[in-house]
Chains A and B, each alone.
Chain A
Amino acid sequence: MKRLILTLLLLLPVILSSCAPLDLNAPIPVFETGVDPNTWVKIPAGEFFSGQYDEIQTTDAYEMMVTDVTTLQYAAFLNEALAAGSIKILEDQVTGYYPGDEFHGVKHEERIDAGDYVFIPLNDPSQRIEFDGAQFTVQAGYENHPMTMVSWFGAWGYCGFYGYRLPTELEWEKAARGTDNRPFPWGDEILRENANFYASRDPFENMKTFGSRTSPVGFYNGNTYDGYVTLDSASIYGLYDMAGNVWQWTGNVYEGMHLRFMRGGSKDTYDMDLRIWVRNNATPTYFSPGVGFRCSRDNP
């Protein structure tokens, strides 16, 4: 018994070392990926294999953003939307109007009435967008990172403001997968150099302190960053970050459910959640450092 106690005492420093103070604003490596987040990719109409068991589905032609919406893009939207009176600042939150969903009274369904809903929180330590009372700016180093800490309403509001929309789950899936039945946007297997996922040992994470952090959009494009080699992990249509980095809100509103669905896995999940068919969902007011979005639009 004494030996057991001694062993546990020896392990104590290891355990206590995990209690180091957490700095959520610790310096982050800054890399330019060369991928322009303002570009769009055309996805052709036609059939594709959907889901884990390759169910054949069809979409019309549409376009999707080549990367997730960045913090810089979202800050620009907030400034424009504030000037246009489309959003409000309420109790440390940016809010915007949503016309509401039809309520069906299904078990566990929550009512989403017309009204103002949170787009982003402003007082959260994980929020990378700052507001000085007049202007929205981005915390230095995070300009080309995906916009996170954004609710489904905030993602819906961004896309709608510019005449775009959130992709449906099927659109998202086809853009990630193409027309074969690959599990990951780049192919059949996943390596640490393919994507930002939990404990993937990328330059942005430190599992002893703050854990995993987002990587700049388009980071996994085959470039080498300060000796860190990435694999080109674009989807067959050329979209980046369709697996890992951040979960991406999708646009479907399902009958009898207030929950909204996310795709793609994130920096906080194991590789299994990065498989194309994996779904996550949350209430539309949910925001997190691991959830972002991108928009789609009908083929012009």
Chain B
Amino acid sequence: MRFIKERLIYLFTSTKGLILVAIAMIAMETAVWGMLSGPMAEMGVREIVIRLFGMDMLQAEREGRIIILYHSIAMAVVAIETYMITSILKMKPYYKVTINALITVGYIVTMIFGMGFAYFGHNWAFHGVYIFGLSIIFLAGVVLVIALWPWNKEYYQTDKTYARTKKGVDIERVAFFATGLTTLISALFGAVPGSFLGNGFQIFLAENIIRFPEKTTMQYSIIGHLHIMLALIAIMITLIIGRWLNFKGILHKIAMPLMILGTIVLNLGVWGVATPLEPIAHQIIYTGATPSMVAALLLLIWSWAKLIREGTALIEKPKFGQKVAALVRDPLKFGPTWQMLYMNFTTSFLGIFMAIRLDEIFRVWPAREERIELTGHWHALSAIIATIILLYYGDIIGLKGKIRQLYGWGIIFFSDLALAGVTIFEMKRLFISEAEQQPLVNILMYAIDIGLGSLLILLAIVMVWRLSDLFKKKGRWTEEKDQELTSEVAK
């Protein structure tokens, strides 16, 4: 009994244990539900999985199922980010315990009962509990925003090398606060139409209505919600990575106000989609996205410069090759910002390119081709966020030496391979006809499947290792149960 109790205390009360549980939950869900589509469906694995688990898959409910699936995974990701925030920022212990308890119960309930409702018959009690789970997560967010209140003198920044006001208000904390607060407001833009449209099944996927010139306010609201929530998750992980790497100095002082400005304007633009501001909403969104992306770029420049500086500290006049070697010597520290840069090739530049060539693409291509591009680009962004979390997680669990290199480079290489495949797949109509595309599609599918498959295997290895570690009396978990991320911030 004590054996189980100790492990449960580690898994559900320590930051690192909570992150491990959430990653494991996502990994399990991805492993099972990933077999229901794409190549797995083509190979017939989908039917086996449906029979094996006794899933109830009505055709008319596919969109509703997918929305619940997305939400259950997203809530676990939000929980991971929340654990990181409560552990890496100063916060009253009362708040930390409350937030972590609420969000843990929230995402687990959301995941289990949401998926139970969506895929295993429609037990409406399950649906109610699923909504209850989402509500608890929202409540956790409210408490988090209260806990982050940056104008509490206790949290003032005394070190002048960080962004701060003259009075000492920690601008980075304001950025966390603004992101948290706008996330709560943006959640409502999904919750209200979600409730309005009923039971979670009389719903639509945004990519299927994007071309209709007339959309209802509720439809606009959902389109805005899904875009901004992903953007905010990305902004939050950027802030977390910055804190972990101990972002500071002049670039920090420039970046943090930009991040706050970008976040607020971006949100105003997206909320504007559901208001009479809709005709100019995109201009507002671009205006907001620009400072946010500049802030991320400043983090990248600062962190790469730091990696090079530290890696060449013992060399008097480092050559270019030595600088590059220093930059990439630690994939877990280099990887997150590299992935942010890579995101521009798979998501941002792609979106801008498509927008510039609107007359050749969206006004000509069939809707299905546009749907591939739309779903592809946000899957890519989600995957990049996931890999950044996993890279940070590699450091959190203390990977060292060769294992650290293999794990880090494995994540970077395989995810980037898959994402490159996805990007070319999205763009293929620009350079190949439908009739001639199959060989190219096959190559791209190899790249995507090898990339994602290897990534999942890598994750599975880590999860099996962590599971086996739990059976050891003095496993790594015993060290992790009292460790906080704030003590592991780079010097």
| Chain A residues close to B by CB (< 8 Å) | 1, 4, 11, 14-15, 18-20, 22, 24, 52-53, 106-110, 124-126, 181, 183-184, 188-190, 198-199, 207-212, 247, 256-259, 262, 268-270, 272-273, 275, 279-283, 285-286, 288-291
> Are B368 and A110 within 8 A (Cβ)?
no
CB-based closest 4 A-B pairs:
A211-B438, A183-B59, A282-B366, A18-B442
Residue of A110, A256, A281 touching B366 (CB-CB under 8 A)? A281
CB distance from B358 to the nearest CB of A (A): 8
B490 interface hit (Cβ, 8 Å): no
Chain B residues within 8 Å of A270, by CB: 37, 41
Chain A residues within 8 Å of B30, by CB: none
Whose C-beta in chain B lies nearest to the C-beta of A205? B438
Whose C-beta in chain A lies nearest to the C-beta of B371? A280
Residue of A53, A211, A282, A289 touching B367 (CB-CB under 8 A)? A282
> Are B59 and A125 within 8 A (Cβ)?
no
| Interface CB pairs A-B, < 8 A, 7 | A14-B446, A18-B443, A22-B438, A106-B213, A262-B366, A270-B41, A282-B365
Chain B binding surface SS class: helix
> Are B439 and A283 within 8 A (Cβ)?
no
Chain A binding surface SS class: loop
> Are A268 and B366 within 8 A (Cβ)?
no
> Are B202 and A53 within 8 A (Cβ)?
yes
Residue of B279, B413, B435, B441 touching A126 (CB-CB under 8 A)? B435
A-B Cβ contacts below 8 A, count? 104
> Are B438 and A207 within 8 A (Cβ)?
yes
B33 interface hit (Cβ, 8 Å): no
| Chain B residues close to A by CB (< 8 Å) | 37, 41-42, 58-60, 62-63, 202, 208, 211, 213-214, 279, 362-368, 409, 413, 433-439, 441-443, 446, 450
> Are A183 and B434 within 8 A (Cβ)?
no
Whose C-beta in chain B lies nearest to the C-beta of A20? B439
Chain B residues within 8 Å of A199, by CB: 42
> Are B368 and A273 within 8 A (Cβ)?
yes
Taking A15-B446, A110-B363, A184-B59 as contacts, is the C-beta distance between A22 and B439 under 8 angstroms? yes
User: Considering the chains assembled together, what is the distance between the CA atoms of A279 and B279 in angstroms?
Assistant: 26
Taking A53-B60, A108-B213, A272-B62 as contacts, is the C-beta distance between A289 and B364 under 8 angstroms? no
Residue of A108, A210, A257 touching B438 (CB-CB under 8 A)? A210
> Are B211 and A259 within 8 A (Cβ)?
yes
User: Considering the chains assembled together, what is the distance between the CA atoms of A272 and B439 in angstroms?
Assistant: 23
Taking A18-B443, A52-B60 as contacts, is the C-beta distance between A280 and B368 under 8 angstroms? yes
